[in-house]
Amino acid sequence: MHRTESHLLDILVPLWPRIAGRTMAEHSQPAFFASGVLTLNADCAAWGTQLRHMADEIRAKINRFLGQPIVKKLRVKTVTQPDLFAPPRLSHATGLPAPPPVKPQIDMGSIADPDIAALLAGSYAKYFNRPRR
C-alpha cells in the first residue's frame, strides 16, 4: 500500500459531508481504500443503492478535491447496524456537559502540494471544531 493510500481515509472521513452531502454522510462513510478502490459503508440497502447511483459523481468529486485521479473505483457495502453513522445524541434532561473539543492529528506529509495540504488541514480542523448537536 502506498503512503498516500494509507492516509486517504484520514482526509476523506472528516470531509465526507462536503463530498457526499450532509444527508448522505449521515448514512454512509468511507471505510477502506486500497489499490485505487474506495469502499464506502452504507447503513441500509436503500442508501447503498443511492451511493451506487452517485458513484461516478462522488469519485469525480473526490479526485477533483485531491487534485489527482487517486480513486479509480467505488465499492459500496451495506452495514446492517442501525444508526451506525449518526452522532450520539444526549438527552437535554440529563444535564451532562458537552464533551471537550477533540484535537485529532492528521499527517499532511503525504500531500506534495502545500496549498492542498493547507486547505485539507484547515477543513479537517473546521470539521472537528464545529458545534455538536
Provide CB contacts within 8 A for 7, sequence distance 6+. 106, 107, 110
Report pLDDT for 90. Answer: 44
The whole-number pLDDT of residue 60 equals: 94
Distance between CA atoms of 31 and 12, rounded to whole angstroms? 10
The overall average pLDDT reported for the chain is 77
pLDDT tens digits for 33-47? 999 999 999 999 999
Q: What is the pLDDT of residue 24?
A: 92
Helix (H) or strand (E) holding 23, with range, is helix 22-25
Is the pLDDT at 103 greater than 60, yes or no? no
What pLDDT is stored for residue 59 in this prediction?
A: 95
pTM, rounded to two decimals = 0.59
Q: Which uninterrupted H or E stretch holds 13? A: helix 3-20
Give residue limits of the domains in the chain.
Answer: 3-81
* Residue 121 in this model has a pLDDT that exceeds 70: yes
Report the candidate in 98, 78, 80 with the shortest Cα–Cα distance to residue 88. 98
Residue ranges with strand state E in 1-133: 28-34, 37-42, 73-78
The answer to whether domain 3-81 has CATH 3.40.50.300 is no
